Copies of this chain bind each other. A is one copy, B any other.
Amino acid sequence: MEDLLMKKFAKLGVENAPGQEKLQKKKELDIRGEKIEGPTVDFSHGDVDAFEPLPGSKECFDAGVAAGGKQAYTEYRGGYDMRKDVAEKLSAFTGASIDPDKNIILTPGTQGALFLAIGSMAARGDKVAIVEPDYFANRKLAEFFECEIVPVPMDYFGVKDRAGIDLDRLEAVFQEGIRLFLFSNPNNPTGAVYSREEVLKIASLAKKYHVSLIVDELYSRQVFDGREYTHLCAQEEIPEEMVTIIGPSKTESLSGYRLGAAFGSEEVITRMEKLQAIVSLRAAGYCQAVFRCWFNEPEGFMEDRILAHQKIRDDLVEKFKSVPGMHVRPTEAGSYLFPQLPPMDVPIGDFTKILRQLAGVTVTPGTEFGPGFTDSFRINFSQDHEKALAAADRLIQVVERYRK
């Protein structure tokens, strides 16, 4: 008997997910040469000791605790004062119109927002279009809700000044009846930013074919090189049901508080709150108070932080590009790089395990972002600059030991 429960969970592996590497079963690996010494670096997520939480965040939290019961027990969609504050700031940032009573929900992290959004916009049997490559949880969520995944390729190496999503393919699959399309902008894992033309086309296609949209803008505050960034939510032509997801866990390093926000169509937000009521009730009440410091950074703080990340990117891209057969698209926004390896003697899953053992460097295998990315890996370079460069050197040494 095929058991539906077991079938669903068989698809939900986490052992390759960031921070979960301890779960990996011991396996015979093709270990070549001696360990390469150096400080361990975990590129699977950002290092909040290297880039510390926003100034004032702890003080906001303390004020939340001091406020007592009314901060501990907020409405499920978040306390009104915080919703109003966040709605105003996100309206100013994106250009969208956000009514704090109708269009926004505060969630436990952007992961929480993504779960609620997908669960509120698609159900069993619905077709969900997903970009390849894109954030690994997108596929897992669609599978958990028993949706049918329809991949849309993104040629991130073949284009310039746009992300490279295949818009003809997107229209073709929309025509066939897609319920929901979700994508991250900037793209996770490549750091590519969708061009204005791409964003407008996605919006108008979604409207035309009545496709619901989720736009994950988690890293949209960290745009490099003065590049233009277009918020889909602020455009004239948008579909009836859409939400944008964003939060302070990345550039702002507030991940320890688990805060996220989703804003958009009133009906979707209402459903998301109904779902949050049975999933986790609310973002931790005291933590919600930390939203106060978001978009409220000291003058120059964000600019400095973005520049510091841009410099790490530059140095890493230079290193990786110097390796014969290795390719990388320089990050346009966010803290991810998604380098492609030269042909190797070992599969990508083994390579990442070997890399941890030999060099103390953790990266995320490309196959987490789409089944075809068997030659790529993702790194989050929000790290101590010097340690990140040293880790990249060790990574390159390991590549040399295993190249075909």
Is the CB–CB distance between B277 and A14 below 8 Å?
yes
CA distance in complex: A267, B123 (Å)? 26
Cβ contacts under 8 Å, A313 to chain B: none
Is the CB–CB distance between B72 and A256 below 8 Å?
yes
- Name which of A24-32, A279-287, A369-377 contacts chain B: A279-287
CA distance in complex: A47, B69 (Å)? 6
CA distance in complex: A20, B73 (Å)? 10
Our pick among B69, B71, B278 for the contact of A111 (Cβ within 8 Å) is: B278
Our pick among B3, B65, B112, B120 for the contact of A279 (Cβ within 8 Å) is: B112
Is the CB–CB distance between B125 and A4 below 8 Å?
yes
Q: How far is the CB of A116 from chain B (nearest CB, A)?
A: 9
Q: How far is the CB of A360 from chain B (nearest CB, A)?
A: 16
Our pick among B9, B45, B140, B258 for the contact of A280 (Cβ within 8 Å) is: B258
- Name which of A190-198, A268-276, A351-359 contacts chain B: A268-276
Decide: A9 near B72, CB < 8 A? Known: A258-B281, A258-B285, A280-B112: no
How many copies altogether?
2
Question: Which residues in window 259-314 of A have CB below 8 A to B?
Answer: 271, 273-275, 277-287
Cβ contacts under 8 Å, A64 to chain B: 256
Cβ contacts under 8 Å, A281 to chain B: 109, 111, 258
Map CB proximity to B onto A6-18 as digits: 1 under 8 Å, 0 otherwise.
0011001110010
Q: Which single residue of chain B is at the shortest CB-CB distance from A141? A: B278
Is the CB–CB distance between A286 and B273 below 8 Å?
no
Decide: A20 near B115, CB < 8 A? Known: A5-B123, A49-B68, A256-B65: no
Cβ contacts under 8 Å, A141 to chain B: 278
Is the CB–CB distance between A280 and B108 below 8 Å?
yes
Q: How far is the CB of A4 from chain B (nearest CB, A)?
A: 4
> Among the interface residues A12, A280, A286, which one has the most CB atoms of the partner chain B within 10 A?
A280
Cβ contacts under 8 Å, A115 to chain B: 278-280
Q: Is A22 engaged at the interface, CB distance under 8 Å to the other chain?
A: yes
Q: Is A349 engaged at the interface, CB distance under 8 Å to the other chain?
A: no
Decide: A76 near B278, CB < 8 A? Known: A123-B5, A123-B8, A255-B285: no
Is the CB–CB distance between B277 and A258 below 8 Å?
no
Question: Which residues in window 16-71 of A have CB below 8 A to B?
Answer: 17, 19-20, 22, 45, 47-49, 52-53, 58, 61-62, 64-65, 68-69, 71
Decide: A75 near B258, CB < 8 A? Known: A278-B140, A278-B144, A279-B115: no
CA distance in complex: A256, B65 (Å)? 8
- Interface size class on chain A is 35 or more
Question: Which residues in window 102-138 of A have CB below 8 A to B?
Answer: 107-109, 111-112, 115, 120-126, 137
Q: Is A257 engaged at the interface, CB distance under 8 Å to the other chain?
A: yes
CA distance in complex: A76, B23 (Å)? 11
Is the CB–CB distance between A120 and B284 below 8 Å?
no
CA distance in complex: A4, B146 (Å)? 12
Q: Which single residue of chain B is at the shortest CB-CB distance from A284? A: B258
Decide: A76 near B14, CB < 8 A? Known: A258-B282, A284-B284: yes
Q: How far is the CB of A158 from chain B (nearest CB, A)?
A: 31
Q: Which single residue of chain B is at the shortest CB-CB distance from A7? A: B123
Is the CB–CB distance between A73 and B19 below 8 Å?
yes
CA distance in complex: A62, B72 (Å)? 17
Q: How far is the CB of A404 from chain B (nearest CB, A)?
A: 34
Cβ contacts under 8 Å, A73 to chain B: 19, 45, 48, 255-256
18 contacts between A and B (CB under 8 A): A4-B125, A5-B120, A12-B277, A14-B274, A17-B76, A19-B76, A20-B76, A72-B256, A73-B256, A107-B280, A108-B284, A111-B280, A112-B280, A115-B279, A144-B275, A256-B285, A258-B280, A284-B287
